[in-house]
A and B are shown apart, each in its own frame.
Chain A
């Protein structure tokens, strides 16, 4: 499928672009919520092809970026404990907590390992029964089912040395918080494809019903994004506000029921802090009571200490779409992917890293 789609790009892109260029009457601000969209938009050079009236704003959809420094610090503190092996996804390694980061801790001798799949964490715990293996799990609805499966698998295997430090977040509550704040001016949403494969269409309906804004669940190829933008423009032209699915080859209206079920078996929603957005109701996931024995926050009793963002860092505003990365005085000067100040410069899905890597003069 992907091969034939790619061949079609050269043929169909001009048709979609022509329709988009016909829409240039008044300024329109569309938010791509998801970091993967941000990357794809840069990689395919979509911004360089859009009429000036259409502005794409990057949203809070980068899991690493929205994880507060306090939660990174807690992971760092855990990694310093005797007999603890901390395992996590690669992007988290370089996020500055307070004065350190996981990759500096590793250079100092901490046992910190990068994994690509949650089940790898279970495997490490099984192979090294003398280590306490803590899986520092960050992610949205896309990864939560796989994390839930890992938790169940650890239980099935009777592993007593497997722990979870959960920093998982949910996307729809963040969009609601963003819109309720009234601070940011958005005319429509390019909604995340992968998250929606799991949760489906319904959780976004409030965007149309309560805020009268259109949203399109969009795939990640260049053509998907162009078509998603076209669908938003059509709604605007017709004065409609609906939640539509462009990414039909992967997203069903009802989502993935099996994945949702395993998620609900293992986790429950909880109020959670987001960098930039603050405390958002029911926007995080923690382990249900029956799994609390493996909850690292209880098992290791590490105090939570929040940290303010470093002075001058605009990550908070950037995650809300209030500012663009180049608006930050640190951008590209004191803050670069080699030596990041804020998390948006670290993650491969962060807006600052994307602007830095793909900037076009």
Chain B
């Protein structure tokens, strides 16, 4: 490692985060399950396949329009399981609390955990609490871990994209990150925008009912749509072409990006999924998704090509093209 200390950018989900894993964590901990670096590990257990994942939540502020740290902690981990096609069996939740944290706020967080778990149809079956001195943490951090069972015959992995697949997304990108940044009051902006935070396992279940042969599912969280597509293109050794005029972006997100010089393709989402599906199955899947409350705005945004393996090409509205590279450098820390 070139750096001697941890920088905030190591937590941004971009290239530095990736380097930290590859250069420091994997040399100590690597094994056949961890090395896939997917959102969940897929572990065989007798005749079943189990999905297993964990995630910590340090979002700042704890409460923001459309959600709070509790809702995120449930949805994020449920979604990591769902992106393998797994049905969540149960979650654990660990709380690190700062001395002096108001119980009223904790109650509010627990209430939204309860509500989000109900939406996802999953239970919190184990937990832990620790308290640290005032100043040793900022309010509240949560870690959730999840276990799920992958239905027989389902094989969804980042390395499974194939030529001819169409690429779909279930709605506009960037809402979560912009909502959190506005709530943080960092750039004196006001807006109506809400985080899209939602558990996607129900939507995935509906998709699998329409088509068992979904090749890839990913939720574009930190690093955004661009980073996720780049990771899939590289894991699968295929090329990706995305049409700029097809990618849904809300007007508020677009204007905020214009004002502040952000690129919406790199903004985090917490209730979106990208799916790679064989072209002939797409109509059926789209129909099912659009009938689901979280899939009403589903659209096809691009396709897989055999040309340019490992690259994501964006065809712009004026007919030009640009490459979408993974997120690099410092984006915003603590957005989830």
Between A and B, 9 residue pairs with Cβ closer than 8 Å are: A45-B321, A46-B318, A103-B7, A104-B7, A106-B8, A222-B320, A338-B16, A349-B261, A360-B321
Residues facing B in A1-23 (CB within 8 A) are 2-3, 6, 9-10, 13-14, 17
Contact A338 B328 (CB under 8 A): yes
Task: Say yes or no for B190: interface residue by CB 8 A criterion.
Answer: no
Task: Say yes or no for B5: interface residue by CB 8 A criterion.
Answer: yes
With a cutoff of 8 Å between Cβ atoms, the chain A residues found around residue B316 in the complex are 43-45, 222
A332-350 Cβ-contact flags toward B at 8 Å (1 or 0): 0000111100000010110
With a cutoff of 8 Å between Cβ atoms, the chain B residues found around residue A3 in the complex are 251
Contact A336 B319 (CB under 8 A): no
* Interchain CB contact (< 8 A) of A338 among B15, B255, B317, B318: B15
Task: Say yes or no for B325: interface residue by CB 8 A criterion.
Answer: yes
With a cutoff of 8 Å between Cβ atoms, the chain A residues found around residue B315 in the complex are 45
Which of B186, B188, B320 is packed against the most chain A CB atoms within 10 Å?
Answer: B320
CB distance from A69 to the nearest CB of B (A): 19
Tell me how many residues of B have a C-beta within 8 Å of chain A. Answer: 38
With a cutoff of 8 Å between Cβ atoms, the chain B residues found around residue A349 in the complex are 261
CB distance from B234 to the nearest CB of A (A): 15
A199-216 Cβ-contact flags toward B at 8 Å (1 or 0): 000000000000000000
Task: Say yes or no for B329: interface residue by CB 8 A criterion.
Answer: yes
Contact B261 A107 (CB under 8 A): no
Contact A338 B329 (CB under 8 A): yes
With a cutoff of 8 Å between Cβ atoms, the chain A residues found around residue B245 in the complex are 10
Contact A117 B329 (CB under 8 A): no
CB distance from A85 to the nearest CB of B (A): 16
With a cutoff of 8 Å between Cβ atoms, the chain A residues found around residue B330 in the complex are 90, 93-94, 103
Given contacts A93-B330, A348-B261, contact A13 B319 (CB under 8 A): yes
A17 to B325, CA, bound (A): 27
Contact A9 B317 (CB under 8 A): yes
A305 to B313, CA, bound (A): 44
Contact A222 B328 (CB under 8 A): no
CB distance from A119 to the nearest CB of B (A): 8
CB distance from A19 to the nearest CB of B (A): 14
Residues facing A in B302-334 (CB within 8 A) are 308, 311, 313-323, 325, 328-330
Task: Say yes or no for B260: interface residue by CB 8 A criterion.
Answer: yes
Q: 7 additional contacts, CB 8 Å, given A9-B317, A45-B314, A48-B320?
A: A43-B316, A43-B322, A45-B316, A94-B329, A338-B15, A356-B325, A358-B323
Task: Say yes or no for B103: interface residue by CB 8 A criterion.
Answer: no
CB distance from B177 to the nearest CB of A (A): 15
Name the 10 nearest CB pairs between A and B, nearest first. A45-B320, A13-B318, A116-B187, A337-B328, A337-B329, A45-B316, A9-B317, A48-B320, A45-B321, A107-B5
Task: Say yes or no for B2: interface residue by CB 8 A criterion.
Answer: yes
With a cutoff of 8 Å between Cβ atoms, the chain B residues found around residue A107 in the complex are 5-8
Contact A120 B188 (CB under 8 A): yes
State the main secondary structure of chain B at its contact with A: loop
Task: Say yes or no for B9: interface residue by CB 8 A criterion.
Answer: yes
A93 to B8, CA, bound (A): 12
What bracket does the count of chain A residues touching chain B fall in? 35 or more
A168 to B24, CA, bound (A): 41
B181 — nearest CB in chain A belongs to which residue?
A116
Residues facing A in B247-302 (CB within 8 A) are 251, 254-255, 258, 260-261, 263
With a cutoff of 8 Å between Cβ atoms, the chain A residues found around residue B321 in the complex are 45, 48, 360
A46 — nearest CB in chain B belongs to which residue?
B320
CB distance from A76 to the nearest CB of B (A): 16
Task: Say yes or no for A291: interface residue by CB 8 A criterion.
Answer: no
A357 to B263, CA, bound (A): 12
Given contacts A10-B245, A42-B322, contact A357 B328 (CB under 8 A): yes
With a cutoff of 8 Å between Cβ atoms, the chain A residues found around residue B8 in the complex are 103, 106-107
A44 — nearest CB in chain B belongs to which residue?
B316
A14 to B245, CA, bound (A): 15
Contact B311 A361 (CB under 8 A): yes
CB distance from A133 to the nearest CB of B (A): 17
Contact B320 A49 (CB under 8 A): yes
Residues facing A in B198-222 (CB within 8 A) are none
A144 to B7, CA, bound (A): 31
B1-21 Cβ-contact flags toward A at 8 Å (1 or 0): 010011111000011100100
Contact B317 A10 (CB under 8 A): yes
Given contacts A43-B263, A120-B188, A337-B328, contact A2 B255 (CB under 8 A): yes
* Interchain CB contact (< 8 A) of B9 among A49, A103, A116, A226: A103
Contact B323 A359 (CB under 8 A): yes
Task: Say yes or no for A155: interface residue by CB 8 A criterion.
Answer: no
